[in-house]
Amino acid sequence: MVTVELGFIVAAQVAVAVLLTPVLVGVMRQVRARMEGRVGAGVAQPWRDVRKLLRKEPMRAAGSGPLLSATPLVLVVSSLLVCALVPLVGTPTMRLVPDDLFVVVSVLLVGTVALALLGLESGTAFGGMGSSRHMTIAGLVEPTVLVAVYALSIPVGTSALSAIVAARIDDPASVVSPVSLLAIVALVLVVLAETGRLPVDNPATHLELTMVHEAMVLESAGRDLGWLELGSWLRLTALLGLVVNLLLPWGVATEATAFAVLVGTAAVTAKVLLAGALVAAAEVFLAKVRLFRVPELLAGSFVLAFLAVTASYLVA
Amino acid sequence: MSPVTAGLVAQPVLAVVAVLAAVLPRPRVRSVAAGTAAAALGLSGVVTGLMALLGDRGRLQIPVSLPVQLPLDPLVLAPDRLGGVFMVVAGGVGALAAIYGIGYAHGPAASRTGWTAFVVFLLGMQMVPAAADSVSFLLAWEVMAVGSSVLLLADHTARPQVRSAAVWYAGMTHLSFVLLLAGFAVLASSAGGTSFADPAGTSSAATSTAFVLLVLGFGTKAGLVPMHVWLPRAHPEAPSHVSAAMSAAMVKMGVYGVLLVVVRLLPAGPRWWAVLLLVLGAASALFGILQASVTSDLKRLLAYSTTENVGLMVTAVAVAMLLRDAGQDQVADIAWVAALLLVVSHAAFKTSLFMGAGSVLHGTGERDLDRMGGLGRAMPTTSAVFAVAAVGAAALPVSSGFVAEWTLLQSLIHGDGQVDRLVAVALPVTVAVVALTAGLALLTFVKAYGIAFLARPRSDGAANAHEASVSMRAAMAAGAAGVIALGLAPGPVASALGAAVGAEGIGTVGLLGLDLPAADALLDPVALLLLAAAVAVPVGVVQARLARRRPRRDVDLAWGCGGVRLSPRMQYTATSYAEPLVRVFDDALQPSRDVTVGHAEESRYLVQRVEFHQQLVDVVEERAYTPVVATLERLGTIARRIQNGSIHRYLAFSFGALVVVLLAVTW
């Protein structure tokens, strides 16, 4: 019985993530368009794009191999798995698959690696370039992620995300503690780097030489590209959802009842859309930094995460 | 006779059989006969090790009688549980390498000497963890060193670099032996006997001296920075089945030595011992992976990655010591288990990686990643094995490496820093080091796999690649299966390993999952896979329906900014892949670059040709070893003046020596 209910929460999380994701991207693009004085394509445009792409035939250029069609699926499945694990709607988790942060990070990395291999598989200069940059950033982000996780896990004594969020619901004051704030600022920078947002990567660029994410998917078309877009957007939803639930834990379902799940769904939708709009608004005022300045940014966020850990030992 | 004793007797017997199989048959069947017999020797090691690991006690005593006036203790072979783990590792890796060698060994490596040396090497490795006193330990250690040195020299007539690599290896391995001899001597004098069962004395000066000597000696064999210099020379030059055995098993004997010292011989050391090990381990992990990530030689890359992995193992051991010292025994137990999981996991994936690299070398004649590409189509088995092993090396789910690193991280974040300042500083730094190592390992292995096996061939050798022979493929597949099996069933594996270091509270949960109640954490890879399968089903259904409606279409051109750019030389190479990283870690790597731009005759604004040279030298080697070697050479040159070939001068030397002796005696 319990398993059925938990399955219900997991299914709800995956469904919410899949339905919410195109809207989130649409809202972010629309906010940006309006602030830049454009009309914008409307909130539903990303959804129409994905539907169109999935129905189109994929193409394969001479010289590229079989991973061209396999990696998009790996990316989507890994992103969906992250959505299933991260406490977006509710904190109850399955006993055998706890939402351990290290596991979540590794599942995310599976998607990262799939993208990098896709870039190399195409056998072009741009694909390799994007893949190389992407992996350099991913490798340098790793210390910040794990140290920030460490900082968040210290007060709770476990690296399970649901336990961390649940502890924040019980004790809202802990959200504004210096440890928590430092760790969350570090995490936000990480999320921006991992999901290819400004100032690390410009998702709207059309110039191949400045691309990171887009350079890897240049050779993909049709439903391959559709899956890739959906998979990368799902990562954004999951990570953004995680950060807002850490910062504003209210509304997250703590039990597996229909009403709690309904409230949780509404809460996470509102919070993620608001966070997305804020990110988009901030991006209007940001320029992409040079690739070789990105490590400085990441080093900065690492220092914040490290301060969070030492603060939790020495101050608290 | 207990099973372990029978196993200890069986191994030398099987070794003799294997040597006969290497010497007697005709050349055509020699590799098959010797390889099979050596594999049997390895399997006997696995079985004996497993018995010892499960708690069976066996003992083999060999009395020593030499015509000297010294009281010589008998040689005792009696593996404990910890020794059992390493005997399984040595035997398993050795058996796979032997089977692989049947198809791979050719030329000098397949000669009588080559196979005999392999058998001797394997026997030495399997005896090291069985030794129960320092004399038999050092004997087995030297047997192992001699066997591996001969194997390393196999191709010395074909490539002159092999000789230099062998000299470096012989030099470092004897440095290691001298340090160990000194360390065990200090220990024996303080304990009053050579047996490992004798309790060490309480004199802190003597035990600390012994500890430092032993750690440096074992660290040299294990390839810890700054004693790692032989690894990136010896591993690339040895035949690949030998590199696999050296990197995945022999180097582990250094780790076994460190564990032997801190668990069994000197369990209660002062705190700075842990700090020393932590510094050595963290430096090795970071330096190793940084060098690996920027190297383009596939086997050299794997060698540096071994330094990284050994660094992580020693880091785990140091963390366990630190936490044990701080009184957090339950969390320390997790770190001990993490160290052993790292050992077993590295054995599985590094054997497969070296065998995969050997197949690539065999099929293309190339070791340089910059000249590979597109090998996945010509070598599907090698490609699949290398991919699985690379997943293990990059610690991605679901592989042995992932389980090991997850366990290490759990032990790190559950150490309580509030009670102890040193722990409060050491643990976050270690988490950061482990994380950066993991991140760079990810890049390294994406590069190694992606550049070699994906995209288009970058040289003729890569374009005309062929798949490996049956025995090679079988051995590689077995290695890859080990990587996945250890990743899917961490619970039973970790429980057995926990018993080897006396760790409690390591349990099995759910579907062979790993349960760490002390850290309130569990990892069940099978359940995680089932969940992934559950979310994959809808995606698969949609994909299948879409694929039926609209099949894939092949087109000619890839995107080239509107131009036609079809040459495979336009692709990124391993060097260009690592270029951003070289820039980021400019200060640590100190690359020397040389760019020459050639202009067209008509105008200097038209670039005709650009030449780019980049050289990355090992900074540690350049700073620490080059001056020493240069000084030694200078001294050698000076010493040569003493000998000028004149008989008169030598007679004068003899006379002088006689006078000095007489003076010294009559003084």
CA distance B238 to chain A (A): 30
Question: Could you say which DSSP state residue B103 is in?
Answer: H
Closest CA to A239 of A114, A78, A55: A78
For residue B190, which amino acid is it? S
- Token pair 């000998």: residue: B643
CA dist B271 → B186, B191, B325 (Å):
20, 21, 7
pLDDT attached to residue B508: 87
CA–CA distance, B431 with B451 (Å, rounded to integer): 30
Q: How many CB atoms lie within 10 A of CB B280?
A: 24
| Joined tokens for residue B288 | 């190793």
- Token pair 């992409």: residue: A288
CA distance A86 to chain B (A): 13
pLDDT attached to residue B474: 95
Closest CA to B128 of B37, B192, B222: B222
Residue B120 near residue B143, CB atoms below 8 Å: yes
Q: Which secondary-structure segment (H or E) carries B513? A: strand B513-516
For residue B471, which amino acid is it? S
CA–CA distance, B115 with B434 (Å, rounded to integer): 39
Q: Dihedral sign, CA of B34, B35, B39, B40?
A: negative
Contacts of A136 in chain B (CB under 8 A): 443, 580-581, 584
CA distance A283 to chain B (A): 25
CA–CA distance, B200 with B190 (Å, rounded to integer): 6
CA dist B531 → A4, A134, A258 (Å):
14, 27, 22
Contacts of B373 in chain A (CB under 8 A): 123
Contacts of A94 in chain B (CB under 8 A): 527, 531
The counts of H helices and E strands in chain B are 27, 8
Cβ-defined contact of B409 to A98 (cutoff 8 Å): no
Interface contact B432, partner A, CB < 8 A: yes
Cβ-defined contact of A103 to B406 (cutoff 8 Å): yes
Cα angle for residues B245, B247, B249 (degrees, 5° grid) = 55
Cβ-defined contact of A61 to B425 (cutoff 8 Å): no
CA distance B398 to chain A (A): 9
CA–CA distance, A292 with B163 (Å, rounded to integer): 41
Among the partner-chain residues A76, A109, A124, the one whose CB lies closest to the CB of B571 is A124
Residue B271 near residue B422, CB atoms below 8 Å: yes
Among the partner-chain residues B413, B432, B521, the one whose CB lies closest to the CB of A143 is B432
CA dist B633 → A241, B81, B517, B628, B645 (Å):
64, 46, 58, 9, 20
pLDDT attached to residue B165: 93
* Cis, bond preceding A295 (omega within 30 deg of 0): no
Residue B273 near residue B321, CB atoms below 8 Å: yes
Residue B272 near residue B214, CB atoms below 8 Å: no
Range A171-180 contact pairs with CB under 8 angstroms and sequence separation of 24 or more: A172/A249, A172/A250, A175/A246, A175/A247, A175/A248, A175/A249, A177/A316, A178/A308, A178/A311, A178/A315, A179/A151, A179/A154, A179/A155, A179/A308, A179/A311, A179/A312, A179/A315, A179/A316, A180/A152, A180/A246, A180/A308
Cβ-defined contact of B572 to A132 (cutoff 8 Å): yes
Among the partner-chain residues B439, B546, B558, the one whose CB lies closest to the CB of A223 is B546
Q: Per residue in B453-481, is it b (16+ CB within 10 Å) or e — as a string?
A: bbbbbbbebbeebebbeebbbbbbbbbbe
The beta-strand segments (E) located in B355-426 are none
Is B442 strand, coil or helix? helix
Closest CA to A72 of A91, A53, A87, A89: A53
Query: What are the average pLDDT values for consecutive 10-residue runs of chain A, which has 316 residues?
Result: 68 91 95 93 93 90 80 95 91 83 93 94 88 93 90 87 90 86 90 87 82 88 92 94 91 85 92 95 90 89 89 72
- Token pair 């998009």: residue: A72
| CB within 8 Å of B654: residues ≥ 6 apart | none
Burial class (CB in 10 A: 0-12, 13-18, 19+), B129: buried
Interface contact B406, partner A, CB < 8 A: yes
pLDDT attached to residue A3: 62
Cβ-defined contact of B397 to A107 (cutoff 8 Å): yes
CA dist B7 → B10, B14, B50, B287, B496 (Å):
5, 10, 10, 40, 20
- pLDDT-flagged residues of chain B (< 70): 71, 200-202, 563-565
CA distance A34 to chain B (A): 31
In chain A, whose CA is at the least distance from the CA of B419?
Answer: A313
Closest CA to B299 of B181, B185, B171, B162: B162
Q: What digits encode the pLDDT tens for the residues B453-505? A: 998 889 999 999 999 999 999 999 999 999 999 999 999 999 999 998 888 88
Contacts of B425 in chain A (CB under 8 A): 310
Closest CA to B140 of B202, B57, B83, B69: B83
Give the ranges where B550-611 is alpha helix by DSSP (H): 574-577, 579-584, 586-589
For residue B111, which amino acid is it? S
Among the partner-chain residues B454, B524, B546, the one whose CB lies closest to the CB of A54 is B546
Among the partner-chain residues A128, A157, A302, the one whose CB lies closest to the CB of B572 is A128
Cβ-defined contact of B539 to A80 (cutoff 8 Å): yes
CA–CA distance, A127 with A214 (Å, rounded to integer): 9
Contacts of B531 in chain A (CB under 8 A): 10, 81, 84-85, 94, 97
Cβ-defined contact of B438 to A153 (cutoff 8 Å): no
Cβ-defined contact of A65 to B431 (cutoff 8 Å): no
Closest CA to A214 of B457, B443, B559: B559
CA–CA distance, A242 with A165 (Å, rounded to integer): 9
A-facing residues of B in 273-332 (CB < 8 A) are 293
CA–CA distance, B610 with B598 (Å, rounded to integer): 6
Interface contact B458, partner A, CB < 8 A: no
pLDDT attached to residue A1: 39
Interface contact B576, partner A, CB < 8 A: yes
| CB within 8 Å of B330: residues ≥ 6 apart | B504, B505, B518
**Antiparallel, parallel or unpaired: β B521-523 and B513-516:** antiparallel
Counted residue by residue, chain B has a size of 667
